[in-house]
């Protein structure tokens, strides 16, 4: 099974609600959330962890948050067959969990940018697709979320140059590994992508009200 959960911030939480959710987390995770200075950043970080907790419960793993470890590249993981990944942008948070594939996700808020500033990130065919697109900014963010999802699934994250990830339709390659790409609809001005080590035929998508 592969599960994608997401939630949006409609309004800042009051202190009672934030404390209630925070108390559900292990002490180490509470400290991670409180490390952020801005309340908005604390809320999105907390939302992501609550989504992970809710998702793991769907897999029958009630207390697994206490068992999370980290790789040398700081990627969180659980021992066993479950893989998960988190992402957030502006007012949206997302979490994906799978027991059938290694996965990575990325979500981004689409805002106008100076395209030329990002020219060096793309292969020539990718750059041409961006500048020739009807919606160049959306195409740029599509490629970016695809590449970001891939490097997060790979596990090395920002240690990989995005240009090392070659996008071909619904697949991406890095080194000798092929990753399968899937767009996910979350909100009008957002783009989300999932990368997986194998094709995921059925994806359960849950919008969670927090």
pTM of the model: 0.94
Query: Which two structure tokens, joined as six digits, stand for 172?
Result: 């991406």
CA distances from residue 102 to 66, 68, 78, 105, 150 in whole angstroms, order as listed? 21, 16, 12, 11, 10
Mean pLDDT, residues 79-90: 94
**In a 3-state reduction of DSSP, which class is residue 7?**
strand
Selected residue with higher pLDDT from 140 and 12: 140
Q: What is the mean pLDDT of residues 119-134?
A: 93
Residue 25 contacts residue 33 (beta carbons within 8 Å):
yes
Give the whole-angstrom CA distance, residue 112 versus residue 77. 34
pLDDT at residue 63 is higher than 70: no
The architecture of the domain spanning 2-207 is: Alpha-Beta Complex (3.90)
Q: Tell me what percent of the residues of the chain surpass a pLDDT of 70.
A: 100
Q: Give, in degrees to the nearest 5, the angle at Cα 173 between 170 and 177.
A: 120
Tens-digit pLDDT profile for residues 183-200: 999 988 999 999 999 999
All structural domains of the chain with their residue ranges? 2-207
């Amino acid at each position: 099974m592969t599960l994608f959960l997401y939630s949006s911030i409609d309004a800042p939480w009051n202190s009672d609600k934030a404390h209630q959710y925070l108390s559900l987390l292990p002490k180490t995770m509470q400290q991670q959330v409180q490390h952020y200075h801005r309340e908005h950043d604390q809320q999105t970080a907390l939302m992501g962890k609550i989504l992970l907790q809710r998702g793991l419960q769907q897999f029958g793993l009630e207390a697994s948050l206490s068992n999370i470890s980290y790789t040398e590249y700081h990627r969180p993981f659980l021992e066993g067959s479950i893989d998960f990944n988190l992402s957030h942008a502006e007012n949206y948070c997302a979490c994906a969990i799978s027991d059938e594939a290694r996965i990575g996700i990325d979500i981004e808020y689409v805002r106008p940018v100076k395209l030329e500033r990002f020219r060096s990130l793309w292969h020539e065919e990718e750059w041409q697709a961006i500048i020739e697109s009807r919606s160049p900014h959306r195409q740029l963010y599509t490629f970016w979320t695809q590449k970001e999802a891939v490097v997060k699934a790979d596990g090395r994250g920002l240690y990989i140059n995005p240009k090392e990830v070659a996008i071909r339709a619904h697949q991406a390659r890095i080194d000798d590994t092929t990753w399968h790409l899937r767009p996910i609809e979350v909100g009008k001005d957002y783009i989300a992508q999932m990368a997986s080590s194998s094709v995921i035929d059925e994806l359960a998508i849950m919008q969670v009200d927090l």
